[in-house]
Amino acid sequence: MRHDGPVTVLHDPTAHTFASDNYAGAHPEVLAAIADAAGGHVGSYGADPYTARLSEVVAETFGAGTTIHPVLTGTGANVAALQALTPRWAAVICATTAHVYTDEGGAPERLGGIKLLTVPTPDGKLTPELIDRQAYGWGDQQRPQPLAVTITQSTELGTVYAPAEVRAITEHAHSLGMRVHMDGARLANAAASTGASLRELTRDSGVDSLSFGGTKNGLVLGESIVAFTPEAEAGVTFLRKMDAQLASKMRFVSAQFLALLEDDLWLRSATRANAMAVRLADGLAELPGVVVTQQVEANGVFVVLPREVVEPLREAHHFYDWDRATGEVRLMCSFDTTEQHVDRFVADASAAIARLS
């Protein structure tokens, strides 16, 4: 432990893992934005100049009429956004791997009162044909009514929807009377991967509402709900409070998003994370007994390693299992992942595999 400042340092500031982009610290430009917003008194609960400026920047980024509601967590953003899109009797179609289904403690169903209808998909991506497996039964009082679709960009398997793929989903869903929500916890990584703008991947592709991620791309805390239509906007102000997502000192969340958006920090950070994932996958793919299981399109690498090397590597670099039955693990890169971090992991994997022979 160090005592260089007012807070005792309780961790190794040089430590790096491949466990999650949530493990990464805050980007220095984000911390500077918080410090800049810290002085003096301003209005609370969003009545501050940083939140007002954020509204202007979001309209410039996504198009006039777009609104943003900063919140505290990704789960809270997803729940409130889906509640705004659906009546009490609605169901939402999602992939079986979707974060709203697998990793949010049942919050959409228990807190939001929204039935989730899941569809298996090999790469984490929905298609109109896959949506049709659950898109039926309207008017049947025995069945929850499928009135919305939620897609994740980039997906939980590290794959990315191209704008045309998003458009195909939204046009199909809208033709059936359903609205479309995007869980954009890693939207920045998807945009960096495709070369499309944030607007092209969302509003221009027909998405109704977006949970726009921040913490996986360098924020201390904070996510946001972005609404592109009056229907998606209706009620969000009240749902945010009801779902315990209204920050009293909202200026600090808004200032962080301003740091992301005003100078393309979101793109710079996501581009680095994606590039490091590609470097990591390319290095591992050359090793004997290693199989990269998904296309590397964002900042995640899904790979099967020889079972004997998993624990030694995990002890040195820390990462999570994805499918214990197959031995598949997930390696996540972050805005602060460097070539040295990647090359050290590949070298350690290579040495561990060599010792098996």
Give the mean pLDDT of the chain: 97
Per-residue pLDDT, 285: 98
Domain ranges of the chain: 28-262, 265-354
Per-residue pLDDT, 357: 80
Per-residue pLDDT, 3: 58
Give the pLDDT confidence of 31-46 residue by residue, as tens digits.
999 999 999 999 999 9
**What per-residue string of b and e applies to 79-99 under the rule 16 or more CB within 10 Å gives b?**
bbbbbbbbeeebbbbbbebbb
Per-residue pLDDT, 4: 63
Closest listed residue to residue 170, CA positions, set 118, 128, 138: 128
Q: Decide whether 28-262 matches 265-354 in CATH topology.
A: no
216 confidence band (pLDDT: 50, 70, 90): very high
Residue for token pair 């906007």: 233
Q: Which CATH class is domain 28-262?
A: alpha beta
Give the pLDDT confidence of 315-324 residue by residue, as tens digits.
999 999 999 9
Give the pLDDT confidence of 77-104 residue by residue, as tens digits.
999 999 999 999 999 999 999 999 999 9
Per-residue pLDDT, 25: 96
Give the pLDDT confidence of 120-165 residue by residue, as tens digits.
999 999 999 999 999 999 999 999 999 999 999 999 999 999 999 9
pTM of the model: 0.96
Give the pLDDT confidence of 219-262 residue by residue, as tens digits.
999 999 999 999 999 999 999 999 999 999 999 999 999 999 99
6 confidence band (pLDDT: 50, 70, 90): confident
Number of neighbouring beta carbons within 10 Å of residue 106 = 11
Give the pLDDT confidence of 291-330 residue by residue, as tens digits.
999 999 999 999 999 999 999 999 999 999 999 999 999 9
- C-alpha 314/C-alpha 17 separation (Å) is 9
Residue type, position 203, single letter: R
- Does the CA dihedral 219-28-331-313 come out positive or negative? negative
Has residue 1 got a pLDDT over 90?
Answer: no
What value does the mean pLDDT take over residues 97-121? 96
Q: What is the dotted CATH code of the domain comprising 265-354? A: 3.90.1150.10
Q: What is the share, in percent, of the chain residues with pLDDT greater than 90?
A: 98
